[in-house]
Amino acid sequence: METTILVTGGAGFIGSNFILHWMAQEKTGVVNLDKLTYAGNLHNLQSISAEQPYQFVRGDICDRDAVRELFARCRPQAVVHFAAESHVDRSIHGPDDFVRTNVNGTFALLEEARAYWAGLSASEQERFRFLHISTDEVFGSLGADDPPFCEITQYSPNSPYSASKAGADHLVRAYHHTYGLPTLTTNCSNNYGPFQFPEKLIPLVILNARNGKPLPVYGDGQNVRDWLFVEDHCRAIRTVLSRGKNGETYNIGGWSEKRNIEIVETICSLLDEMCPNDPVVPHRQLITFVKDRPGHDRRYAMDARKIERELGWKPQETFESGIRKTIQWYLQNDPWVKEVTAGSYRQWIATQYS
């Protein structure tokens, strides 16, 4: 029987990067279950869409019947669970979807995974893994001099988004301890790189700067995040899936703490060099401070020593190398950018899947 992994949310930013990375490195088949909300984009996976061991299924993780049928038909050896609502601003304005997808959806997926796992042979049960992808935001906010988050840091979520992810993390932990389901959880810092939907800081700044539009910076711009290049994250997930210990959590970080204003200024400087003919140069003239978001966490930082020590993973990109690669990707993929920002992709989905 051909070995298969089930990836949920595989048309999103991190999920699609992971599938592309996985298909380039592994011989295992991939089934990609994605609801195709606004942030899901099948064009991210165009380069592998015709490959035999890859299959896309449009569906909702909250649909227990559909998930059950998928487990029965595909018989995956592992689940890699990315599917989530993930944008803090959206969670503030509309928390319902976040609770539904991140909490109820994870519960539905765990229940169906548990039922499927219970029916496997002893050797198949031994090999099965349920890997849940989470975030550093579940830990809350750090002061300027606080040590970084580690795997035993107390949860203290401050937004509807982070609270819903914390709820999902607790469910995954409970299913391991109560039912013995072989689960793994990773908590990552801020990702950036190719295919990121342009509501997030880095692609938003790149695209606005190129078009001479204001570069919005919340509050005083001093909020600090740890930045992780998405391909490094994908390598870490593969490492945890193959060598992680059941029931454990692993923090994944880039060792790149940066203030938001630093990020924006770095992008501006690189664009000055790479795009000297843009409408407004130097690009940093476009920086505009805007009213801070409610409950904006001041600082996140990740202590990734556990995964480095126990599993041998380390990030390969510095922020300086990763941000240059990211900007180059957006400059070289203008058709993707135009389609995503113009909404024509959404119309294509509506026609394709109506």
Tens of pLDDT along 119-134?
999 999 999 999 999 9
User: Quick check: 3 pLDDT over 90?
Assistant: no
CB atoms within 10 A of CB 329: 17
For residues 189 and 238, is the Cβ–Cβ distance under 8 A?
Answer: no
The model's pLDDT over 84-137, given as tens digits with 9 standing for 90+, comes to: 987 677 778 889 989 999 999 999 999 999 999 999 999 999 999 999 999 999
Sorted by where each begins, the domain ranges of the chain are 4-193+229-255+299-316+342-353
| Chain mean position to CA 128 | 22
Mean pLDDT of 62-89: 93
- Residue-level pLDDT at 134: 98
For residues 278 and 331, is the Cβ–Cβ distance under 8 A?
Answer: no
- Residue-level pLDDT at 2: 64
Q: What is the DSSP letter of 116?
A: H
Write out the CATH class of domain 4-193+229-255+299-316+342-353: alpha beta
User: Quick check: 207 pLDDT over 60?
Assistant: yes
Kindly indicate the confidence band of residue 37, based on its pLDDT and cuts at 50, 70 and 90: confident
Catalytic residues: 136-137, 161
273 by Cβ neighbours in 10 Å (0-12 / 13-18 / 19+) ranks as: exposed
- Residue-level pLDDT at 36: 93
Q: pLDDT: is 21 or 339 the higher one?
A: 21
Mean pLDDT of 158-175: 96
- Residue-level pLDDT at 124: 97
The pair of structure tokens assigned to 329 is 């990707």
- Residue-level pLDDT at 347: 65
